[in-house]
Amino acid sequence: MVDVILGLQWGDEGKGKIVDYFAPRYDIIARFQGGPNAGHTLYVKDKKIVLHQIPSGIFHQNTINIIGNGVVLDPVTLKRECELVSSFGIDVKKNLFISKRTNLIVPTHRALDKASELQKGESKIGSTLKGIGPSYMDKTGRNALRVGDIMSKSFTTQYIKLRLKHQKLLDNFHFIDDISDWEEEFFEAIDFLRTLNIVSGEYFINEKINSGKKVLAEGAQGSMLDIDFGTFPFVTSSNTISAGVCTGLGVAPQKINEVLGVTKAYCTRVGGGPFPTELNDETGENLRKVGNEFGATTGRPRRCGWIDLVALKYTVMLNGVTKVVMTKADVLDSFKELNVCTAYNINGEETNEVPFQLMQSEVKPQYKNFEGWNCDSGKIKDGENLPVKMQHYIKFINQYIGAPVAYVSNGPQREQIIKI
Ligand code: GDP
Ligand code: IMO
Ligand code: MG
């Protein structure tokens, strides 16, 4: 049986904290897509940790963590992260497994990402520059190197072949950065990777499922960044929705049970692309300040705005969400009034659907206004003690999106979560 936790907006919904909270109920936590573009924050003994490649269950001694075939893996980031996790007394050689079919990010992928963004100029995606797009291109282009390849004697030859191919592309971009330092650390990290548990992920996970073990699949990014259904081309390069669990781990659809969708009580986006409810004013500034909305991977200020129920209902539909987790409700504590977007007005026409092109300039969000609850919600432990005005806000969202908000997160710490 596989449950899923994934983001319903444009990423950074608080998935890391929520996975860490639920992890003790599972035997295995599995990342199924994305790569080091992810930044999942959790707190261990009051220390803030940001994970990019390793699943967010790694701090629980009895939980197995697996990096699935749908992930793109940067060995350098992985090595660094393993060192961090080990400093907390976690044995990564015991608790971490990596699928042989996971695609590798090589140094020239990062260079190509940078070159491609530079060439796009004003219309750049705002990529994290971690090499995600180019490495997924090599996967679908059938050129990629995979983790299983590092055991082969011909790995270096395969690497050189791919590097030469990339060099021609970089020459076309007139890209001249010296990446020899990156290569040196890449090969050191490959040596380290060889010491970890490398497995046939699809057999590994299915054997566990068949013996009654419980798996939690951890999504990265958010559904509005999905390569097929997100705000293309301002998206990432993988399927971030629940369908990605099947291809990203090798599990069949009927094995999937609960899908927990995580949404903030408002909305943020980092990088370029449309964001209908964005607030380019003092309220937006306040959300950024109170919510500490700065990217966990790149440190960039996140764009902030009201919750968008048109987009949320769409992503609930795409994922088959069974329960919603609403995070950062405490961030709204001090706001006198709140808005929720219930429709888009596009060129004078009102719609409740996410259109093919969601270009910001044409879309006017239609809002329903709520009074803020104006009290400190961070210490509340029970659903019935939530401010009545917050309960109204949540009830409206439940009804609109057709899925229940079952948990409210009211602070960044592990225990700051309320079941309702
Ligand atoms: P992820 O990528 O979905 O895991 O989210 P990030 O870690 O990138 O960003 C979420 C940020 O919000 C992190 O700094 C978390 O520590 C913080 N956070 C998570 N849940 C809550 C919450 O309920 N309240 C507050 N105030 N912060 C939260
Ligand atoms: P987590 O897992 C927020 C955004 C980038 C950019 C676009 C494409 O922490 O929620 P990419 O590097 O994937 O080519 O960038 O996607 N992006 C994220 N935004 N959270 C993330 O991950 C993201 N991963 C990528 O900012 O707009
Ligand atoms: Mg993040």
Written as tens digits, the pLDDT of the chain (420 aa) is: 999 999 999 999 999 999 999 999 999 999 999 999 999 999 998 899 999 999 999 999 999 999 999 999 999 999 999 999 999 999 999 999 999 999 999 999 999 999 999 999 999 999 999 999 999 999 999 999 999 999 999 999 999 999 999 999 999 999 989 999 999 999 999 999 999 999 999 999 999 999 999 999 999 999 999 999 999 999 999 999 999 999 999 999 999 999 999 999 999 999 999 999 999 999 999 999 999 999 988 899 999 999 999 999 999 999 999 999 999 999 999 999 999 999 999 989 999 999 999 876 689 999 999 999 999 999 999 999 999 999 999 999 999 999 999 999 999 999 999 999
**CA-to-CA separations, 271 to 6, 12, 23, 222, 233, in angstroms, rounded:** 19, 12, 30, 13, 12
Active-site option among 3, 12, 20, 113: 12
3-state secondary structure 374-410: CCCCCCCCCHHHCCHHHHHHHHHHHHHHCCCEEEEEC
What's the rounded Cα separation, in Å, for the pair 367 and 309? 10
Residue 357 C-alpha from the chain's centroid: 22
* Sequence-ordered list of residues with C-beta below 8 angstroms from that of 363, at least 6 positions apart, any chain: 274, 276, 344, 345, 346
Unique residue bearing structure tokens 């009034």: 337
The residues whose Cβ lies within 5 A of ligand 3, an ion, are 12, 39, 296
Ligand 1: nearest atom to the Cα of 17: 19
Does the Cβ of 219 fall within 6 Å of ligand 1? Answer: no
Unique residue bearing structure tokens 């705002």: 126
Within 10 Å of residue 80's Cβ, how many Cβ atoms? 17
**CA-to-CA separations, 235 to 91, 240, 269, 304, 386, in angstroms, rounded:** 35, 10, 11, 17, 35
185 and 193 Cβ atoms separated by less than 8 Å: no
104 and 205 Cβ atoms separated by less than 8 Å: no
pLDDT at 360: 62
pLDDT at 361: 65
Unique residue bearing structure tokens 């990777």: 193
**CA-to-CA separations, 62 to 40, 56, 65, 94, in angstroms, rounded:** 20, 13, 10, 10
Using DSSP, state whether 66 is helix, strand or coil.
Answer: strand
Within 10 Å of residue 305's Cβ, how many Cβ atoms? 22
pLDDT at 77: 98
What's the rounded Cα separation, in Å, for the pair 23 and 356? 37
| Residue 46 known to be catalytic | no
Using DSSP, state whether 279 is helix, strand or coil.
Answer: coil
Does the Cβ of 225 fall within 6 Å of ligand 2? Answer: yes
Mutate to test the pocket of ligand 2, among 18, 37, 300 (most ligand atoms within 8 A of CB): 37
366 and 344 Cβ atoms separated by less than 8 Å: yes
What's the rounded Cα separation, in Å, for the pair 285 and 300? 14
Burial class, 292, CB count within 10 angstroms (exposed 0-12 / middle 13-18 / buried 19+): exposed
Structure tokens at 186: 């890449």
| Residue 109 known to be catalytic | no
pLDDT at 262: 98
Active-site option among 40, 52, 109, 166: 40
By C-alpha distance, which of 15, 101, 88 is closest to 58?
88
Would the pTM count as exceeding 0.85? yes
pLDDT at 296: 86
Query: Whose C-alpha lies nearest to ligand 1, atom 21?
Result: 412
78 and 105 Cβ atoms separated by less than 8 Å: no
Mutate to test the pocket of ligand 1, among 17, 44, 264, 315 (most ligand atoms within 8 A of CB): 17
94 and 62 Cβ atoms separated by less than 8 Å: no
